[in-house]
Amino acid sequence: MRGIDVFSRPLEYLTPLGEQVGEIIREWVEKEVIPYRRGFDEDYLEHRLIHPPFKKLLGEYGIQRILFPEDLGGWGLGHSEYLCVAAFRMFEEIARADSGMAVAFGVVFWPLVLICCEPHVNRRLCEEFAPMFMTNEPVFSCLAMTEPQGGSDIENVEVLKGSTIRTVAVRDGDEWVINGHKLWPTNTGGVADLMGVVCTTNPGSRNPEDIAIIFVPADAPGVTQGPAYEKAGMAADKNGDIWFENVRVPLWYRACGPGDDAKYYGEIVSMGNMGSIAFAVGVMLNIYEKLQEYVNRKTYRGMPLKENDAVAGVLADFATTIEAVRIIGYQCARMCDRQDLYGPRWSPEVVARARAHRYFAADRALEAIGKVMNLMECFGPDRDWDVEKHWRDIKMVQLWLGGKQLSQMEVARWFFECETL
């Protein structure tokens, strides 16, 4: 049977490092994740099964260090023009086993992008937080944006300019004092060690200089994480509430500074969308493997199911979706890497393109996986086949980062120069 490597990738811009780490991750998922993943749903609170493979990948293999500069013990990927393409490969390999795990993995690096990547490396914060990541124990970061009144408005920086953010950072001498309540950040529910917190320094203000992204160690007095939510899937990604009550951190824990935090927020959005496509691709690759087994093993009138015209049509559509979505995803990653060609990844143009790529990819993946579920009849929802797990998990990719509607608004706004959206 053909394996997952039959699907197209842009060979001309793959990176040796990404490929090497991709192979290591493939071996790790085969041994440490796939045999255990069926138990992950019930493990959403404790992470007894989920923690050990994370410990190996992030801590023992040292992959949590990759973004930090080499002289601080990192791998220097923050400086690489292949960062996103390499990340795409890693994300899809992990998502093939478990997309919740891929999300949790990706978010370890998400807030760190703000301090480790060119052209806005914050050397002092890199020096401050690098030692935390240079350990054999897994370290989890989170990026806390969403609030009880709504997440999309906070991400809609171009139009709302932070005016709806209610988590407030007030300057007191040489410290920030933070108060607020966040919902849903990946890698919370008790696991977060380091938080990037989207705050306002002046509630209601539409001045981008008042948007502040501030790093908060999770053990700072006044930080409380609630338990992990029980959700449809992605149990390896713990999401929960965080409360900040008079939390004090040094002023220099602000990621990039007035104006720049708002500007580089766009980069977070572009990269989050790029990663989301990799999660969808990884999931589809594993479903392809399962589907191969199913249509070869099951028969219809004495022939393998795949030899039936109508079935072959569904198989062709599924393979075509993987082909197309994977290429879109790699192109999105390449666009985020080659800022010299495509413009800065925080620009409204790149943000709009990445949102377009993501929502198209997520919609196509869900549609295609739904058809596979139909084809597999009662084996689709059978947990033994893992397809229903991926189907539940991947719905999430459509919902986050402001969901589809905010993506549509931003895409229309850029391509059609809408003025009121």
Binding mask 151-190 for ligand FAD (x = CB under 6 A): xxx-x----------------------------xxx----
Q: How far is the CB of 105 from ligand FAD (least distance, A)?
A: 12
Q: How far is the CB of 175 from ligand FAD (least distance, A)?
A: 24
* Nearer residue to ligand FAD within complex by CB, 252 or 360: 360
Q: How far is the CB of 229 from ligand FAD (least distance, A)?
A: 9
* Nearer residue to ligand FAD within complex by CB, 90 or 198: 198
The residue number with the shortest CB distance to ligand FAD is 151
Number of residues that bind ligand FAD (CB under 6 A): 26
CB 275 within 8 A of CB 81: no
Binding mask 238-257 for ligand FAD (x = CB under 6 A): -x------------------
CB 366 within 8 A of CB 373: no
Type of residue at 369: I
CB 233 within 8 A of CB 41: yes
* Nearer residue to ligand FAD within complex by CB, 188 or 331: 188
Residue 292 binds to ligand FAD (criterion: CB under 6 A):
no
Residue 237 binds to ligand FAD (criterion: CB under 6 A):
yes
What is the C-alpha to C-alpha distance for residues 298 and 304, in angstroms, rounded to an integer?
A: 6
Residue 273 binds to ligand FAD (criterion: CB under 6 A):
no
Q: Six-digit token pair at 273?
A: 């969308």
CB 398 within 8 A of CB 359: yes
SS (H, E, C) 158-220: HHHCCCCCCCEEEEECCEEEEEEEECCCECCCCCCCEEEEEEECCCCCCCHHHEEEEEEECCC
Residue 269 binds to ligand FAD (criterion: CB under 6 A):
no
What secondary structure letter does DSSP report for 50?
T
Residue 213 binds to ligand FAD (criterion: CB under 6 A):
no
Longest dimension (CA), the chain: 79
Q: Which stretch binds ligand FAD (CB under 6 A): 11-19, 24-32, 87-95, 395-403?
A: 395-403
What is the C-alpha to C-alpha distance for residues 98 and 88, in angstroms, rounded to an integer?
A: 15
Binding mask 79-118 for ligand FAD (x = CB under 6 A): ----------------------------x-----------
Q: How far is the CB of 135 from ligand FAD (least distance, A)?
A: 23
* Nearer residue to ligand FAD within complex by CB, 196 or 380: 196
**Where does residue 229 fall: left (phi above 0), alpha (psi -120 to 50 degrees), or beta otherwise?**
beta
What is the C-alpha to C-alpha distance for residues 348 and 354, in angstroms, rounded to an integer?
A: 10
CB 167 within 8 A of CB 197: yes
Residue carrying the six token digits 């620009």: 347
Q: Which residues bind ligand FAD (CB under 6 A)?
A: 107, 142-146, 150-153, 155, 184-186, 234, 237, 239, 396, 399-403, 405-406, 409
